[in-house]
Structure 1
C-alpha cells in the first residue's frame, strides 16, 4: 500500500509540473505549445515525449494506486491520532472518488481515447455549468458550489501557510537543510494551489449571479485570467512557479509521506 501511495504522489507531481511549464509559456505570449494549462494539456504534452504512451500508462496506474490508498484510509483510518476521525475518513473517500476518475481518464487516454482526459477543462466547465443552471434552483446550487470552492481554496492556502503538512511527513528522516527546502515548497506550492482553487470558485459565483455559464472557468482560463491583471505575465508566472513547487512537493511526499 505504501508503494501505491508513493507512486501516486509522484504521478500527481508530474502533472502539476507539466501544467506549470505550459502556464509559464502562456504567461509570456506563447500558446503553451498548443496545450491547455490544465490536466488535459499535461497529458497531451506527456504523450508527445519519447515513450509517451508508456509514461501515460505508468501515470494512470500510479494514480490508481493513490485511489486504492485513499480508500484504505477511508475504510481503516489513516496514520496519526486523528486518522480514524469521521471527517478524515470522509475526506479520504472523496479523494478516492477523485483519483478513480483521474486514473480512468489517464488510462483511457493512454488506450487511445483521445477524447478522455485531454478535453479542455474550460469547455467541460462551461458544459457542466450550463446544465446546472438549467435545473430548478440551479443558480443557488451553482452559487453554493462556487462558494464551497472558494472556501476550499482559502482553506488549502491557510493550511499551507500554517505548515500543517508537517504532521504527515517523516521530518525526522530529513536533514535540517532538506526540511527547510521541503517546507518552503509546501508553503509556496500549497498557497498557489489554494489561490487557483479560490479564483475558480469566484468565477463560478459570478456565473451563478449573472446566470451566464460562460463566466465560469476551468483551470486553463483561470490561470490565463491572472495574465490579464496588472503585471499579468509576471503574476501568472509567479502562480505557475507555485504550481511547479507543489509538483516538486508532491515528489517529496513520495519520499517522506507517512503512509
Structure 2
C-alpha cells in the first residue's frame, strides 16, 4: 500500500511540474524521457488548428496498426505500427515508419496466420513505449488518416493512456467516411473492395506498412476528387462530411 501511495505522489508531481528525478528513478531515465516526449507532442497538438490549411498542401500521416484482437481494454495489444507521409496528393513512399511491437502476451494463431507476425518475431521486438515514442515522433503535428479508423484510434488511445496518461489529441480522418460521402450507393466499403474499384494493386494485406501505403493511394484518389469539387480546406471537407 505504501508503495502504491508513493507511485501516486510521484505521478502527481509529474503532472504538476513535468519531469522530476523521482519519476526518472521510478520509470528509468529512458522511459521517463519517452513519456515526457509523448506528453509534449500531445500538448502541442492542442494548440494548433489545421482547419484553414489548404488540402493540396496539407501534410498527413496515413497509418495502420495490427493487433492481437479487437478489444484493447480486454487485454488485446498492438503488434505492429505502419505509416507513410503524404503532402497534398503526393505519397512520399520513401518516408515511412514500420515497427513490430512486443505485446508481452501470446499472439492468437488466427492473428499469426492473418498478419504473418509470429510469437518469435514479436518477442524480439521493442516494447510499446519505445515504438509509440518513435511513431509519435514520426507523426509530429500532422493529421492522421486511416481506413475504418475507429479500431486504430481505439488502440492508439489506449496505448497513449497506458504509457503516458494522455488521450490522443490528433485529428483522425477516416477514408471509409470519405468513401461513403463520395460513393453513397456502394454495397461495400471494405478496404479491399475500395482498392479494387480504384485500380490500386492489393499487396500483402494485413501488413501495417503495406496497408498504410495502399490506404495512402486511396486517399490520393479521393483527394483529387475532393479538390475537383472546389473543396479546398480541411475545414470545408469536415463540413461536407458532417452532412452525410
TM-score computed with the length of structure 2 as normaliser: 0.29
More relative contact order in 1 or in 2 (CA 8 Å, sep 6+)? 1
Q: Which has the higher strand share?
A: 2
TM-score computed with the length of structure 1 as normaliser: 0.28
Q: Which has the higher helix share?
A: 1
Highest Rg: 1 or 2?
Answer: 2
